[in-house]
Structure 1
Amino acid sequence: MHLTAEDIIVELVDQEGNAVPHGTAGEVVVTHLATSEFPFIRYRTGDVAIQSEKVCACGRGLPVLQEIQGRTTDFIIATDGTIMHGLAVVYPIRDIPGIASFKVVQETLERVVVQIVPGIDCGPEVEAIISKGIKARLGQSVEVCVLRVEDIPREKSGKFRYVQSLVMPT
């Protein structure tokens, strides 16, 4: 993914805003001074990516992103401090029969709320299955609260978000 870096500066940074080395995941931060109305200075996008050590094959010598991993809020932190993609908590839920849709919100390291919209075959065992799957990934001490709801609203962008973490990595 070729960066048009002639008029912008793209940095990949850690939580403290320090540059990460090529090949390491970091949050995408953009500086764009070439606008007459309003410059962006170290604008934190919330996207997590990895910059390649290679340059673009087009011959312009511009930097290339090796991979875009997701949003910073799409990552979950286990009680032992391990940072993992939100898919780690999606997998134990998505294949459970009887769940029409769901959303996982990590409120703290010790508390996760899972909203589910039950379908026709959503039995009483679903809560225990979800709790067991999340605890296996995040830690046995995590409180998992499963709420049955009628609807899970979309984000303002219109997109549906399966995982959201309110926990900042340390």
Structure 2
Amino acid sequence: MISRTIYTDLLLIAFLLALQIFVLNRIRLFGEYTPVLYPVFVMFYPFFRNKFHFLGLSFIIGLGIDAFLGTWGINAFATVCLAYFRLIIFRTSTDTSTDFFSFSSLQWTQFLIFILASIFFHQFLVQFLEFFKFSRIFEILLDILISSGISFIFIVLYALIFKIKQKV
């Protein structure tokens, strides 16, 4: 297991930013949906680490996406909100009430529900802030569901490739 320091976190952020901006943003599924992978940094960040560093790093990765996409802080807001509410999402989606959290102790269904709830929350914030109009509410909800589903598939593949469930 790699020891995570602030430097390795910044390298991981740089890697995820480059992957999202230069590879995944060029993929268009069904003509308009882009998979989102960068929230994995927030989802799989160790629970025992400094919360202020965590919120700051979450802001940096969201702001990095905003800088390249020109979305004026929408992704930074959604990513920091996900970081702030991650513990609540984890506890409600996994029925965990203890003070010790580990992804390796979760069942696969709990792990997948946590990923799905997290990406849905993130996409909900991004889509509503970017496209909100009452006249388009059903279209926005459909976009949230489809982009969450596509991103869920990519995040599960990422977790399987890097064996997140066994390492974190």
What is the TM-score when the length of structure 1 is the normalising length?
A: 0.26
| Higher normalized strand content (fraction of residues) | 1
What is the TM-score when the length of structure 2 is the normalising length?
A: 0.26
Flag the structure with more relative contact order, 1 or 2, with Cα contacts below 8 A and sequence separation at least 6.
2
Q: Which has the larger radius of gyration?
A: 1
